[in-house]
Amino acid sequence: MKDREKWINETLGSIDNIQKAEFPSHLKEKILSNYNSKGRVICIRPFVKWAAAAIILILLGANFYSIVQFRKSSTISQNQNNVFYQEYFSFLNNL
């Protein structure tokens, strides 16, 4: 019983003064060369992503609005032309 408990305590204490494992130099080189070969990883913050999405939406909205406005104005000018033609030809007919 005593031997067992003594052995357990010794085993638990066997890593008490443990040294840190050495960082292999080849691993360091590997990590650094991986980084250098891949180049800088471009990371986009979520805020930037959302801002870009919002700008794209605003641009799409502005385009859509201008198309609608253009169509409206072109129909108005067409109507104005029609009124002019009607008046002009009715005047000619009266003559």
Partner 1 sequence: MNEEKFIAQLIVGDQTAYKLLVEQYGQKVFNTVLGFLQNNEDAEDITQDVFTEVFRSISLFKGNSLLSTWIYRITVTKSLDFLRRKNRKKRFAVFQNVFFNEEAQSSFEPVNFYHPGVQLQNKEQSGILFSAIDKLPENQKTTFILHKLDDLSYAEIADIMNVSVSSVESLMFRAKQKLQNLLRDYYENNLK
The CB-of-70 to partner 1 minimum distance in angstroms stands at 42
Cα separation of 91 and 83, whole Å?
Answer: 12
Cα separation of 74 and 72, whole Å?
Answer: 6
Q: For partner 1, which is the closer residue by CB, 13 or 95? A: 13
**CA quadruple 12, 13, 16, 18: dihedral, nearest 10:** -70
The CB-of-75 to partner 1 minimum distance in angstroms stands at 50
Q: For partner 1, which is the closer residue by CB, 19 or 93? A: 19
Q: For partner 1, which is the closer residue by CB, 34 or 93? A: 34
Q: What is the DSSP letter of 85?
A: H
The CB-of-55 to partner 1 minimum distance in angstroms stands at 20
